[in-house]
Structure 1
Amino acid sequence: MEEKTLNADAAEVQKFSELAHRWWDPESEFRPLHEINPLRLGWIDAHSPVAGLRAIDIGCGGGILAESLAARGAVVTGIDLSDKALSVARLHLYESGLSVDYRKVPAEEFAEQQAGQFDLVTCMEMLEHVPDPASTVAACARLAKPGGTVYFSTLNRNPKAYLYLVIGAEYLLKMLPRGTHDYARFIKPSELARFARAAGLECEELIGLHYNPLTKKYSLGGNTDVNYLLRCRKK
């Protein structure tokens, strides 16, 4: 794929590359990912039992979700554009003993090579970091087999989300490094649903991801004001 058409922000890739060595430290900047992973994995497995499925994780980073899918019996591919994150992901396989096929390739390019090859497609915490999220959604849809399931998670765009995720998480609670999120790139559920439908996906469930700062626990529920997940099926 020509660089001019690459749906990626070099600054975003570099930002996560610089933190890649801390990806598997549960007390690092990636602590929230470690804490929400069992929750979202359970949600995925409840609707799409992953054992034996061919799965792909788009924007896999250091491999937290990809490894978890493999641990539950899926045949997993993980793609990302960060060499450092992928190196960390591959190294961690020696510790976990799991098998994941990690590749450095844009989602759009891989969708041309592997169209309709995956039972399960996940794209978590990535859409808000790319210039053209609709293009990524379309690539996810192309990768899925007919009848396959596609899962997205991202951040809503409204004043409450700005207060919680930027002011709260980055500045007050310091759960994330400052500058992790660009509010202008947050995506409303209606926008994501529109991208999905345009790509040939049927939206089956929209659910919120909640954080309680007092108990420091995450949960799933009906409020999608801040973090949310969307489950889709390819027609």
Structure 2
Amino acid sequence: MGGSLYLAARQGIETVVVVMSDGALGGEADDLVERRQSEVRAAASLLGVNTLHLWDFPDRGLSTGAVADAAIAKAAACIADCQPGTVFMPGMLELHPDHRATANVVWSALQQLHERPWRGLRPASWFYEISVQSPVNHLVDISAAVDVKKQAMEIYASQNSENNYPELILALNKARTFSMPPEVSHVEAYFQVPETQWGWSLQKICQTAIDRYFEAGETKE
């Protein structure tokens, strides 16, 4: 969602980005954690992010009991403190286990906050795509931001040495233009959780979204 972050910054919308884990398993370098933190700071600055939080939960450990509980509590506190209008989290079908675990953590944190309506905090909940197409209901034209998004992704040298992530992610953004006008070059896709589903499990939300593809006569985004 780097393109959307950049477009939001250009519109004067305040953005807060949270990096959940330390990323220690994303390579072999002794200083990998420090390198990745430096990279994300540079990328966030380029995209115009207002506030960046770098948390240190263990890489690929977000789904374990005590760590997950601590992450949920910290996420709930962060959301309550920021008072956002919208909370974005990775899609439910993402390939990386930490991305799926982050979705579970953030959704659980939101459920805790939704159960306390007297606090007046009910941000919209959106899932974003990283590496795989998922059921979506919103498309954002990032044609005007794609060059900056590419520059931001190229900053992550520690990860791009493991795989060609910029090319893969931009290919996904290109594929999402299928239902858009020809002048749209790249799109970021999102799923906004309907308010009627706020109390549901992620599995039920995902299954309900997939069930739509078996309905006759309806074009899917």
TM over 0.5: no
TM-score, reference length from structure 2: 0.38
Higher strand share: 1
**Pair member with larger Rg:** 2
TM-score, reference length from structure 1: 0.36
Bigger relative CO (Cα 8 Å, ≥ 6 apart): 2
